[in-house]
Amino acid sequence: MNLEVKGVSASPKSLTQQVSRNKKHTQDGPTGFPLSIVHLNFDAPYSSSAISWGVRLPYTDDLSNEQKMIPENLPSPTQKYKQKYQQYETEMKEGYKWYSQINSEKKRPNVPWQQPPEIMDRMNAQVEEQVKDSVTALDRKALLQQCYTNSPFNIQQCQKRSEAEIVAAKKKQQAVIEQVMIDQLSRAVISDPEQNSIIGSQQVPYLPLFQEKVPLHLRKRTLHETKIKTHSTLTENMLSNKLQFDARILSRNGRDACRELMGFFFAHDKSLTIYEYRQFGSNRTSALPFIYKGIYSHQYGRRKGKQYQLQDFYVGANLTFLSSYHLSLPESIKENPLITLRITHVDQLTFDSLRKKIMENGDGLTEQEASDRSIFKNIQDLLREKLHERAVRILTGLGKYFRHLDKKRNGLLCKEDFKQALKVFHLEVPEKDFEDLWLILDINGNDQVDFGEFKRAIFGEMNEYRKTFLRKAYMKLDFTKTGSVSMVDIRKCYCAKKHPHVISGCATEEEIKSSFIETLENACSHPREVLYCEFEDYYEGLSFGISDDEDFITILRNSWGI
């Protein structure tokens, strides 16, 4: 083998020896075929040097001899394999382009991204042109996913999966509870610092043990000669009066949004703690503190500065914390000054029992909060009529548009950006309603609001029961927990066998799958990967036209096998 490396010089003597050595094997190889030198250039993307390998391979100079080596009885490829080959070739080319773009972006300096004005104008024109039509081809393809509600689902198999999930959830809950009790009780004082005192103010003088001359059987025995003083001593009975709840992180980062959190509110001192249930590998699991036990207050909204009470814990409620107070949090979470957790499940029996004990009544909703909800509902009812069958395209397009406007990548946009977005997508909101909405959302008065919170305010969102299954589907796709899923994995995991059109023979699996991929690619900022926020926006829009929770879950089960 003759190796030539560009940029490396060799002495004339060594080159002469190499040429003479090669001449011996030029005519005939060990197989009897003539040999020649084939230079293969392997240029790695963005590499500073290229390596040229000279490889001697048997070949024939005559093309007819090469054709004779192909068997005559070889059948011609079918149309099915031709389509697969073309699809594979297209995916490889697009994948290489995507890989090159990612590498080039990584090499660029970390500066705030800015969209050129001419591109933004072009995108606005395209969006306005699409929104003008009532129902487009993409809308019809997106609505095909709703047909899964009419598809039969294996009830027996569903029951088995549900039973297995219930058993797994109980094991997780028990593991977290045991870890909480161990962590809290191990920090409790096991002796009383005032154990040497007599009734009244008089105290027995403290003498070190080595100075005492009294015989051992006549001494006053104590558990510890400790001087530790704490405000309270925790006992298992005190910790048993707790409310258990599940929570998730409101984040556009898929890794953080899919974290499994379990919290506890203790009634005896109105403190709370939150643990994260994590799995390391296939066998090892652990419950780690996420928010350490303490007395916390609201950090955002109408109740800012007020201490958390039992009435603050219900499904759909938000818990806010300052990330600067919790140094052990992951770096991706500490990037935002405020952590917002959404309660997804509450032990209702325990909640009712504790409310009777501490004599708390009512849902604790203030007049201001009731007024805010009324404003949200009026805007949501107004826009719901305009969305109708365009919900998937509007919600995904609006999220994509907001991400383009977010130059600092912190999720905050100003008032004019939101007005412009509503105008582009033809979502007219009365000026008075918009101003009332803005006063509620911009509670800090800095003229900036998170666009995720803005979307939830004007459109609403699917309930937490649906969100739970949506996260299960995404966690199944993102098994490496990177926060993004490649479109290749989406295509592999998506199942169209149970679609009614496939069962009836009106369409093939590939047609249904291609229609789904096309609508999902339209929702993504990058055509080769799907972020969690984009996946959530897609099914958020699909959820608009489905009133029954079980019908929506049937769509996810038939599509992703959860």
pLDDT digit string (tens) for 45-95?
444 444 444 444 444 444 444 444 556 676 777 877 787 778 777 777 776
Decide: 261 and 246 in contact? Cβ < 8 Å. yes
Record the tokens describing residue 164, joined without a space: 């297995």
What Å distances lie between residue 138 and 3, 374, 502, 558, CA to CA? Answer: 54, 33, 19, 21
In the chain, % of residues over pLDDT 70 = 66
pLDDT given for residue 408 in this prediction: 85
Judged against a pLDDT cut of 80, whether residue 522 lies above it is answered with yes
Record the tokens describing residue 46, joined without a space: 């963005």
What Å distances lie between residue 7 and 10, 49, 52, CA to CA? Answer: 10, 8, 10
In the chain, % of residues over pLDDT 90 = 21
- How do beta strands 51-58 and 35-42 pair? antiparallel
Per DSSP, the three-state class of 28 is: coil
pLDDT digit string (tens) for 126-182?
544 444 446 677 777 777 777 765 555 555 556 666 677 777 778 888 888 888 888
Phi and psi, residue 363, nearest 5°: -95, 0
CATH number (3.50.50.60, 1.10.238.10, 1.10.150.20, 3.30.565.10) of 369-459 reads 1.10.238.10
What is the pLDDT of the chain when averaged over all its residues?
Answer: 75
Record the tokens describing residue 32, joined without a space: 């009897």
CA atoms within 13 A on the CB side of 185: 12
CATH number of 236-362: 2.30.29
Lowest mean pLDDT among 75-79, 208-212, 447-451, 487-491: 208-212
pLDDT digit string (tens) for 20-39?
444 444 444 444 444 444 44
pLDDT given for residue 391 in this prediction: 87
CB atoms within 10 A of CB 447: 12
Decide: 552 and 153 in contact? Cβ < 8 Å. no
**What size, in residues, is the chain?**
562
pLDDT given for residue 198 in this prediction: 45
pLDDT digit string (tens) for 263-309?
999 988 899 999 998 877 667 778 888 999 999 999 988 888 999 99
CA atoms within 13 A on the CB side of 344: 22
Q: Which of 425, 454, 460 is nearest to 442 (CA)?
A: 454
Band of pLDDT at residue 98, cut at 50, 70 and 90: low
pLDDT given for residue 282 in this prediction: 66
Residue listed under structure tokens 């926060």: 483
pLDDT given for residue 151 in this prediction: 52
Judged against a pLDDT cut of 70, whether residue 381 lies above it is answered with yes
Q: CA–CA separation, 153 vs 549, rounded Å?
A: 15
pLDDT given for residue 153 in this prediction: 52
Record the tokens describing residue 168, joined without a space: 């797994």
Decide: 299 and 338 in contact? Cβ < 8 Å. yes
pLDDT digit string (tens) for 395-413?
999 999 998 888 888 888 9
pLDDT given for residue 172 in this prediction: 80
Judged against a pLDDT cut of 80, whether residue 116 lies above it is answered with no
Q: CA–CA separation, 267 vs 260, rounded Å?
A: 23
pLDDT digit string (tens) for 195-216?
455 444 444 444 444 444 556 5
pLDDT given for residue 474 in this prediction: 92
Band of pLDDT at residue 238, cut at 50, 70 and 90: confident
CA 512, 516, 521, 527 torsion-angle sign? negative
pLDDT digit string (tens) for 327-365?
888 888 988 889 999 999 999 999 988 888 876 555 566
Lowest mean pLDDT among 90-104, 125-139, 307-321, 437-451: 125-139
pLDDT given for residue 284 in this prediction: 76
Decide: 149 and 261 in contact? Cβ < 8 Å. no
Band of pLDDT at residue 232, cut at 50, 70 and 90: low
Provide the residue ranges of all domains of the chain, joining segments of one domain with +.
Answer: 236-362, 369-459, 464-560
Tell me the pTM.
Answer: 0.67
Q: Please enumerate in sequence order all residues whose Cβ is within 8 A of that of 264, keeping only pairs 6 or more positions apart, or say none.
A: 180, 242, 243, 244, 245, 272, 273, 274, 275
pLDDT given for residue 264 in this prediction: 93
Judged against a pLDDT cut of 90, whether residue 483 lies above it is answered with no
More confident residue, 49 or 477: 477
Residue 375 burial (CB < 10 Å; 0-12/13-18/19+)?
middle
pLDDT given for residue 469 in this prediction: 92
pLDDT given for residue 375 in this prediction: 92
Fold held by 464-560: Recoverin; domain 1 (1.10.238)
Q: Do domains 369-459 and 464-560 have the same CATH topology?
A: yes
Q: Which residues pair with 271 in a beta bridge?
A: 266
H helix or E strand, kind and range, residue 36: strand 35-42
Judged against a pLDDT cut of 60, whether residue 42 lies above it is answered with no
